[in-house]
Amino acid sequence: MVVGGSSEFVGAPWLAALSSLYGGVDLVYLAAPAPVLSSSISPEIIPIKLHGERLVEAHVERLVNEIVSKRVHVLVLGPGAGRREETINFFCNLYEKLTHLEHVSLLGIVVDADALYSSAQCLGHLQEVGRRYNVILTREEAYIGVLIDDLTTHPIREPYRMLTSRSEYRLVLRSDNAALRLSKRAYELGILTEDEYRLVKEREELLRSIKDKMKKTYLNKEHFPFLKGKTSAYQILKRPEIHTKDLEEYIPEIKKLDNQGQLTLEIDIKYDGYIKRDLSLINEAKKLSNLEIPQDIDYDKVPNLSREGRDYLKEFKPLTLGQASRIPGVSSSDIVSLMLYIKRIKGLE
């Protein structure tokens, strides 16, 4: 269910609903003020018309009933809602109601910028997180990092679509390993409790121990006729026709993993070489990205910069050398010149 929209921002909730359909969802409910629902775009998007021109507190009770009765799996909150006081009150009241619903434990909740702004006004812990941490997810950590990095370092001349192909590290940024990748950051921010974080670490350790055992467990043609000699279970799983289920008899610990865990195990092993290459590239990129560019830098004083590179650096004002390296028109030689100049003025040489 998408909840958002206002008389000022009619298109955003429709785009969110359409994106859900294109992402594979069978049916989308769109709860929005009447002006947003004056026309229909797709029969798979079922409108829930709310009176008035924007979301207000009076809509909360009906929305909660709709969420429960329709057994909504995922809530998308905020696209096009705006930041008026009555809309902030709507979200604050909605969050309060959702926390007391048993059904909410089954929901995935996606919060966009407007709804997140409202959250920060009424949920103290989010305000505290904002005060204590400057949370930055890079393109090596999450797709939101890819999106933000692309939008802030590339000239955008057409509508931007977030595709997995936009990430050079897409074998690492997978949905099946999202909890493993981001749990530490979530725990540091107070989003995960200590018990929740412990469960993630236990799962990570189980995966590691299974991989180690697979490397030490050797099978032969008595187990799999296609084998010509002793081969580790780890290498056998790399074959395209072999799956984790085929090895449960010899590695019973695999049964301790749920379906998603087995998927993670299989992908990690089948694409082991490519993933190691990506991780190596990520480490190199981090070394580059960690070199911050002084915000008061005068690019006219940087020697040996091309005119085109200098103009783009002035326009986009990258924060790090890594961001600068991804700006179209900034060449590798420009990056080297910039790096040497920064190291010199910082006394790092």
Q: How far is CA 280 from the centre of its chain?
A: 21
Give the global pTM: 0.61
Q: CB pairs under 8 A, 24+ apart, for 322-330?
A: 322/285, 322/286, 322/288, 322/289, 322/290, 322/291, 323/149, 323/152, 323/153, 323/289, 324/153, 324/293, 325/288, 326/149, 326/153, 326/154, 327/153, 327/154, 328/154, 328/155
Instruction: Work out the average pLDDT over 103-122.
Output: 73
Distance CA 53, CA 129 (A): 32
The pLDDT score that the predictor gives to residue 125 is 45
**To 5 degrees, how large is the angle CA 168–CA 173–CA 175?**
145
CA dihedral 274, 178, 121, 193 (to 10 degrees): -130
Fold equal for 2-132 and 277-346 = no
Distance CA 173, CA 162 (A): 13
Q: How far is CA 172 from the centre of its chain?
A: 12
Distance CA 336, CA 244 (A): 46
Residue 291 has pLDDT above 90, yes or no: no
Architecture of domain 277-346: Orthogonal Bundle (1.10)
The pLDDT score that the predictor gives to residue 102 is 65
Residue 129 has pLDDT above 50, yes or no: no
Lookup: tokens for 135? 């949370």
Instruction: Work out the average pLDDT over 133-159.
Output: 78
**In sequence order, which ranges of 217-258 are alpha helices (DSSP H)?**
233-236, 244-247
Range scoring the smallest mean pLDDT among 11-20, 62-71, 108-117: 108-117
- Residue 331 half-sphere exposure toward CB, CA atoms < 13 A: 8
pLDDT, tens digit (0-9, with 9 covering 90-100), for 243-267? 999 999 999 999 999 999 999 999 9
Q: What DSSP line would sit under 204-252, residue for residue?
A: HHHHHHHHHHHHH-EE-TTT-TT-SS-EEHHHHTTSTT--HHHHTTT-G
Q: What are the extents of the domains in the chain? A: 2-132, 201-270, 277-346
Distance CA 97, CA 218 (A): 55
Q: With 0-12 CB in 10 A as exposed, 13-18 as middle and 19+ as buried, what is 137?
A: middle
Average pLDDT, the chain: 86
The pLDDT score that the predictor gives to residue 123 is 62
Among 10-14, 107-111, 147-151, which range has the highest average pLDDT?
A: 10-14
pLDDT, tens digit (0-9, with 9 covering 90-100), for 151-205? 777 777 777 788 888 888 899 999 899 999 999 988 887 778 899 999 999 999 9
The pLDDT score that the predictor gives to residue 70 is 85
DSSP state of 293: P
The pLDDT score that the predictor gives to residue 288 is 72
CATH code reported for the domain at 2-132: 3.40.1190.20
Banded model confidence at residue 346, pLDDT cuts 50, 70, 90:
confident
